[in-house]
Amino acid sequence: MHTGIWFRGRDFALALAAHLRKSAGIMTDPALLAAAQVSKAWPFEEARKIVKRFPQGKRGADGALLSVLFETGYGPSGLPHIGTFQEVLRTTLVRRAYEVLTGGAPTRLIAFSDDMDGLRKVPDNIENKAVLEANLGKPLTRIPDPFGCHESFAHHNNAMLREFLDRFGFDYEFVSASDRYNAGQFDDALQNVLRQYDAIMAIMLPTLREERRKTYSPVLPVSPTSGAVLQVPIEVIDAEAGIIRFEDEGQMIEQSIFGGQSKLQWKVDWAMRWVALGVDYEMCGKDLTDSVRESGKIARALGGRPPEGLIYELFLDENGEKISKSKGNGLTIEQWLTYGSEESLGFYLFREPKSAKQLHVGVIPRAVDEYWQFREKIPAQPVEQQLGNAVWHLLRANGYHGGDGDRLPVTYGLLLNLVGVLGQHATREQVWSYLANYVDEATSEAHPEVDVLVKAALATNRDFIAPNLHRRKPEANEALALAALDEELGATSDDATAEELQTIVYEIGKDPHYQFEALRDWFKCLYETLLGSSQGPRMGSFIALYGVENTRKLIAEALG
């Protein structure tokens, strides 16, 4: 059962959640607050933007303290994906940083679904495409569910989104665009759009190609005949009454824009939402940079103020190309959790949001091990350094002092090398049998974090390592060095420590008799001839885990 990416267990999660939901009157540790005020960690830098906007807290017209509103947006024309996850995660971290800076000022996070959008194309990963193809152009909530289990296609994807976010323990409120449009809750905002129609057109038209200008409209009426969201020019007949005129299938139609009979063009819709809901913070990807600029201008034309926000870089595949759902060159949440851990995903997404990141299976092992390296450091770090530690933000460690479980007894890289030499048919039980000689209380119950990684290592080995494993033959000088290592291991006691074994390996590599230009060439030889990998672990640790006699058998195979 998943407990949330920044929690280490159910009791800890519940206690921490209670801590974070205390009233606005909670007191923050003075040392923590002082460090947060100057921390260069990006969540605090973002949170200080909001503090600057509301130096006395966000207040209503009557002076009452209001919740600062954070928003994330989601287009339910497809299933939730890793981009959805990272945006909610990163926004949550800014939200928590703001709470630290303000001693617990109230906040809310809404996950907004743009489910009033018209479906423009059929997603590639949907099997029953005919249902969607027959309803192209209609609002997503008015298209039958091709999976046959929900009220509409959008309702299906919205349910997946909520299940997805709940799985990771996010604290959020779900808001549906269709619900707001259909119930008339956006009617006042839509009326305001018609009042400011000319100002909005003046903002948008200069940004469009000449051909697009001829058909552009901030308001998209829903056809009374086809039910499709129409991309047609409109004429404002009565802004106060919300009446517009447009052409639909050769006929001129006069129709209200209220009550779900229209929706707004994307950039106008985004701006309207900011103003209508009172959004104070929203981040987005670099591909929406122009949208942020234009929507900000429109928000001001509507009498509001655009939110603070972060523009983050996009993900790239292993070839450095932009990830595309239609190309299928990305990495899904399920894939990451198959080959890694929740904590490592959060860690990878936390770091350097303004730098492009490659997102493929190859980045997972390092993310796993670095997560635990950073986690191990927290108890000994002064508060200033803790705030710069990615894991502090994931754990929300306001009162966290470390303790048992902060260090894994075995690295993920070492587990991968172990299952690699065990072969394609290695089993969980087999891996744990080796761990018994390396880890105290070597059971999955005593070390659940390790067990997650054992399963992930077996999956990685099955799908990526074993099918491509190749151990090269050693060169003449390498063979001599391997023979020397075998001889040394033969004279070593079975209970030799990893450090003692590492010293043996190290001394052979330094011996000029074996003609290695650099020590790294010796280690490369060990990795490529024994493990079938271009890089690997500390060999002393590997030998201690795999066993001296088993390692000697590997050497014999390499020399054979």
Which of 75-89, 144-158, 366-380, 464-478 has the weakest average pLDDT?
A: 75-89
Residue 27 DSSP label? P
How confident is the model at residue 78, as a pLDDT?
Answer: 72
pLDDT category at 399 given cuts 50, 70, 90 is: very low
Q: Which three-class secondary structure state does DSSP give residue 222?
A: strand
Can you tell me the distance from the alpha carbon of 265 to that of 118, in angstroms, rounded to the nearest whole number?
A: 10
pLDDT category at 326 given cuts 50, 70, 90 is: low
Given a cut of 70, whether residue 17 has pLDDT beyond it is no
Residue by residue, DSSP assigns 139-190 as BGGGS--TTSSSSSHHHHHHHHHHHHHHHTT---EEEEHHHHHHTTTTHHHH
**Cβ(426)–Cβ(384) below 8 Å:** no
Beta strands 311-312 and 284-285, pairing class: parallel
Mean per-residue pLDDT of the chain: 90
Tell me the mean pLDDT in the region 483-493.
95
Bridge partners of residue 358, in order along the sequence: 316
pTM of the model: 0.89
Given a cut of 90, whether residue 178 has pLDDT beyond it is yes
Given a cut of 50, whether residue 82 has pLDDT beyond it is yes
How confident is the model at residue 317, as a pLDDT?
Answer: 79
**Cβ(232)–Cβ(137) below 8 Å:** no
Which of 27-41, 107-121, 441-455 has the weakest average pLDDT?
A: 27-41
Can you tell me the distance from the alpha carbon of 71 to that of 79, in angstroms, rounded to the nearest whole number?
A: 19
Given a cut of 80, whether residue 70 has pLDDT beyond it is yes
pLDDT category at 24 given cuts 50, 70, 90 is: very low
Can you tell me the distance from the alpha carbon of 295 to that of 289, in angstroms, rounded to the nearest whole number?
A: 10
Q: Which three-class secondary structure state does DSSP give residue 483?
A: helix
Bridge partners of residue 173, in order along the sequence: 110
**Which residue from 317, 328, 413 is spatially nearest to 364, judged by alpha carbons?**
413
Bridge partners of residue 287, in order along the sequence: none
AA letter at 326: S
The three-state (H, E, C) secondary structure of 34-62, written as one string: HHHHHCCCHHHHHHHHHHHHCCCCCECCC
Given a cut of 90, whether residue 84 has pLDDT beyond it is no
pLDDT category at 42 given cuts 50, 70, 90 is: very high
pLDDT category at 491 given cuts 50, 70, 90 is: very high
Listed in sequence order, the residues at least 6 apart from 131 whose beta carbon sits closer than 8 Å to its beta carbon are: 143, 144, 145, 146, 153
Per-residue pLDDT tens for 328-368? 566 888 899 999 999 999 999 999 999 998 889 999 999 99
Given a cut of 60, whether residue 20 has pLDDT beyond it is no
Given a cut of 50, whether residue 403 has pLDDT beyond it is no
Can you tell me the distance from the alpha carbon of 21 to that of 254, in angstroms, rounded to the nearest whole number?
A: 49
Can you tell me the distance from the alpha carbon of 498 to that of 500, in angstroms, rounded to the nearest whole number?
A: 5
**Integer CA distances (angstroms), 220 to 152, 155, 229, in order:** 21, 22, 6
Can you tell me the distance from the alpha carbon of 531 to that of 558, in angstroms, rounded to the nearest whole number?
A: 10
**Which residue from 118, 394, 138 is spatially nearest to 266, judged by alpha carbons?**
118
Q: Which three-class secondary structure state does DSSP give residue 237?
A: strand
Tell me the mean pLDDT in the region 123-127.
77
Q: Which three-class secondary structure state does DSSP give residue 20?
A: helix
End-to-end CA distance of the chain: 47
Can you tell me the distance from the alpha carbon of 299 to that of 304, in angstroms, rounded to the nearest whole number?
A: 5
* Domains of the chain with bracketed CATH: 316-407 (no CATH), 470-559 (1.10.10.350)
Given a cut of 90, whether residue 534 has pLDDT beyond it is no
